[in-house]
Structures are given as structure tokens and as C-alpha cells.
Structure 1
Amino acid sequence: MADSSTPIFPRINVKDPYQRLGISKEASEEEIRAARNFLISKYAGHKPSVDAIESAHDKIIMQSFFDRKRPKVDLKKKFRELSQSRPVKAVQGRFYTPSSKFIWKTAITFVLLGVLTLVFPTEEGPTLQVLISCAANIYFLYQRLKSGWKSFFYGFSSFFASWFLATFLMVSVIPPILPGPRNLEVSTACVAYAFLFVSSTFLK
């Protein structure tokens, strides 16, 4: 048993190993080792103090080892790199943001189509609304692009792509969300309207 003159480590009960050794979490291995050696030499006559110092040192070293084995992923950096990659820039180059007035106009149009589809489902499905959505898509594209052939080409392409994606999502990904025998057709139409809103409003 140590006599009363033996110094006792004052941070013996501190839980955080870095605080126990009196170092920052950014300390290098040399600084960690130096802190451990200094404290061990200072409190060598008191076994509980030495054990507490050794325990803190071991925890820090083990944590450092695991951090090297499993390096942290910088999500912000990864996202920045992804957003600056050539494929993403190519996709971004196909879209632009029009005026707020135009966005409201297209949004209201496709929301109304969605409401009509939900409120007035028919046995044949939302055939009329689908035709209107195709025409609206081409019309809005023409208003922005001022090119007849581009409007028809982009309009029909985005129309079929929207319905293909909507059908895939409703059949394979999204569970049925609406009641009734025509829930699949109605749900698919509403999802397609959302895609058509994007294409008619932002496609360049």
C-alpha cells in the first residue's frame, strides 16, 4: 500500500480517456505516448493511478486503430464530388429553372389533372386526363423552347418515359395507396403527372 506522500492521479475517475490524459482528441500518437509516459513516471508509486493512465492510453490507441481500419466517410466531400462529376453536370445541363409564374401555371395544370383523375375515376381509366396531360406537356414545352419539332419530340419522349417510370414504380416499388378497383391506374396517372410537371417545366 502506498504511503500518504505518494501522489495520486487527480483525474483517476475521469471517464473520457483524452481528458484523463490531458490531451486533445487531435493529439498525435507521439503526443499520446508522451502524455502517458509523463503521467506514469509522475504517479508510478500509486497503482490505481497507473492503471487509470494505462487504461486511458489503451482506449485511445484502440480507437485510433479502429478509425484507421474504418475511415470516416466525408459525406459533404462525396456529395460535392458527385455533383461536380461529368454525368451529373450533363444531366443538370438538360434542366433549367423558368420564372415562378410559369412554374405555378404548370403546377396548377397537373394538380388539376390529378384532382380530376382522383375525383372522377372511370371504368376505362383516366383516358381523357392522360390525353390532356400529353397535350399540356407539349404545349408548355413549346412555350419555353419555341421550337415545334423539339416540343413534339421532347413532349412525346417525356410522356412515354413518365408513364413507363410511373408504371414501374407503382407495380414494383410503391404499394397501392388508393382504394377502389382502378387504384393502380389512378395512382400511376398521378405519379406520371408529377414526372410530366418536371419535364414540361424544367426540361431544356
Structure 2
Amino acid sequence: MSEQTPYEKLGITETASFEEIQEAKNRLSQEYRDDVKAVESIESAYDSIIMERLKMRQEGRIKVPDRIRFPERKVEVAPSPPSLSLNNSPPWLQRFIDTPSSQELLWPTGIFLVLALLAGFSSDQASLLPLLLAFGVFTNIYFLNRKENKFGRALLITLAGLLLGVGLGLAITQLLQGSNLIGGTHQSLIGIIVFFVFWLSSNFLR
């Protein structure tokens, strides 16, 4: 069958109708169903004929019934850009970065949001901010420690977050004071920034 034309492989003439092509293909596929190579050759001949008829239809030379199955063409899919995934990051980074679920984000977000709001309204009560910061420290240690039960690491991350938050708060308040944008509320702003750093560390570090 290898030297025959597609029409000869199906045992039909070049003027055969689509019904005759389909019937010949089904009959031969059933007859040679135990011969994989023969079935593949029959399918290839059928596809070649259908593609030829499709080309003729596009040129307006014939009309193809809608029920005729055309051979599927492989569509080249453009490669998608690599996604940023924690699984592709270095192992040492995976040991520190966490990807919390929305449920796990709920409690830390709620608590630190309340603490930040209280800090924002505590500008007239200087004694309240240290209490809020102390509560924030213990809260941050709790959320970090419950992930892997490593109290030492949780304590170090919390202290580093506290120092970072205070440092950022001082730098920002200095800039704002130089621009005359704030008055005497720099302690409250520092507290808000510290709680924001705590929120980040408690959710996205482990």
C-alpha cells in the first residue's frame, strides 16, 4: 500500500463522493483493525484526501458537507513566560519564605490592623504605645512560633522586625518633619510602621 495513491489505498476513484470516502475508510479500518500499520496507512490516506478536498473547497471548486471530519492540525502553543513560584526559588530562601492561605492571613491581619489603628489614635497618650508594641511583639512571636515551633527563630525575627520598623519609622518621620507634613505624631507613625513590619513577618516568614 506504500506506493499507492491515497485514493488507491482506500479503493476509490478521485471522483468519489464524501460518503464513499467515509464508507471506504470505515470498511477498511474495520477489516484491518488488528493491523496497526495498515490502519495508520488508511487513516493517513483518508486525511490526505480530506485535506485535498478542503483545499478544493477553499478554492470554491467543491462544497464540503458540514459532517465531514477534517484531520486535526497541531497548533503550536506559544511558550508561556515562567511564573514566579516559590518552588523555583533557592532552597535556603524556601526555608524562610512562607505562602499563607487566606484563612491563615485573617487573624494576623485583624490583630495588627487593630494595633496600628490604636497606635494612630494614641498620640495624646504616650504610655499606651509601649503597651501596644509589647503586645505586638508577643503576638508576632506567637504567630511565627506556631508555624514550625522554633521559638528562638521566632524571637530573632521579631526583634529584627522591631528594629527594622523603628529604623524605618524614624527615617520616615525625619523626612516628613523636614517637609513640615507632620507635627508631634511621630511616635504613632513609628508604631504603625512597626506593626506593618510585624504583619509582613508573621505572614510571609517562617
- TM-score of the two chains, using structure 1 as the length reference: 0.49
More helix by share: 1
- TM-score of the two chains, using structure 2 as the length reference: 0.49
Bigger radius of gyration among the two: 2
